[in-house]
Amino acid sequence: MARKPETQCVHLDAERDTKLHYGAVSFPIYQTATFAHPGPGESTGYDYSRLQNPTRERLEEHMAQLEHGTDAFALTSGMAALDLLLRLFRPGDHIIMDADLYGGSIRLVDHVAKPYGLEVTSLDCSRENVEAHVQENTAAVYIETPTNPMMNVTDIAALAEMTRRSGLLFIVDNTFLSPYFQTPLDLGADIVLHSGTKFLGGHNDTVAGFLVTNKEDIAEQLRFLLKTVGTGLPPLDSWLILRGIKTLALRMERAEANAMEVAEWLSSRPEVTDVIYPGLPSHPGRPIMERQARGFGSIITFRTKTPEQGKGLLAGVQLIQFAESLGGVETLLTYPATQTHADVPAEVRERNGITDCTLRLSVGIENAEDLIADLKAAFDTLEDEHA
């Protein structure tokens, strides 16, 4: 019987030889650059840590297990993962991408991929929309669901059916839900990308990225690229992410429960005009999420009536920190217009709905009442100042 996800976060399914690593319960950090060979033409299985390192390999096996893939690759950041992924394509290839993506992904595409010769069309990636924009040179479709930061939801299975028929690679950035809540390969995606910095690491202490696939030819190309380019995750960082993953299930459940409470409370505030959280019945993507995911996650995007209220909230919170990033145990409040999406052209930002009243809250695992009290105190201070 297949083990359940909570167990799979803690244990690798595959049997291990407990004599290896002296029976260490916590997988060792192999902090070594190179490996001695027993003799000419012989190898321990490891030669040089740019190519592979046991700690990184262990993490990759764990990620492949969680995402239901055959191969996973651990990289130095989510952006390193996207950069490696884009090396699968050639100048002249066309890629269709979601218009609302993580700001760094948009920057990489605009300033690195396009000058290299990739043709990119950004649009709202509904199946009909994508189908209407497929060209002769289209090679892939790249989406996030839910998107960062507008929480747009795409039907993964519907798009997968279309991309398979058209012979396109289908790539899903699964950062916002983690494999605990969503496994896109099961729904027909070919490659999953992650910022491991977020929920997988979970403690705002390590930067990492992943690519996971269930296609042998893609895995082979990625393995070659990774060892050649040299952006594999170092051993200590690999160990930190491995440790983070052990509590992934607990953290995802708690953060989501908190997010639901905070989203409902925000909806009741007169200073707040919109609360965009897929767990709320008002979210248009909720029915799709109920089909394709096992949870709604813990990222809430909301808008205040005025920019001053938004900025006042950022300045006024005490427990919650005003910082970029998401998916950690600490609750963070982000102002996408000047932080995560600062390098996205203003007109693109506006079109995507990222106004100067838009805030993104990554709800952590603290006590929900404490979080709400912190937000309330910041709003109340604002009111006093304007009274």
Interaction site with ligand PLP (CB under 6 A): 77-79, 102, 104-105, 144, 148, 173, 175-176, 195, 197-198, 207, 209
Give the residue carrying structure tokens 């989510």.
78
CB of 84 to ligand PLP, least distance (A): 12
77 or 298: CB nearest ligand PLP: 77
Closest residue to ligand PLP using C-beta atoms: 78
272-276 sheet: strands from edge to edge: 272-276, 299-304, 358-362, 332-334, 321-322
235 or 327: CB nearest ligand PLP: 327
CB of 80 to ligand PLP, least distance (A): 7
- Which of 365, 361, 29 has the alpha carbon at shortest distance from 202? 365
CB of 387 to ligand PLP, least distance (A): 38
197 or 238: CB nearest ligand PLP: 197
150 or 313: CB nearest ligand PLP: 150
Secondary structure (DSSP) of 268-313: T-TTEEEEE-TTSTT-TTHHHHHHH-S---SEEEEEESSHHHHHHH
105 or 138: CB nearest ligand PLP: 105
Neighbour-count burial of 384, counting CB atoms closer than 10 A to its CB (0-12 exposed, 13-18 middle, 19+ buried): exposed
CB of 24 to ligand PLP, least distance (A): 28
CB of 360 to ligand PLP, least distance (A): 10
Kindly list the catalytic residues.
50, 102, 173, 198
- Which of 83, 146, 77 has the alpha carbon at shortest distance from 113? 83
Can you tell me the distance from the alpha carbon of 56 to that of 30, in angstroms, rounded to the nearest whole number?
A: 9
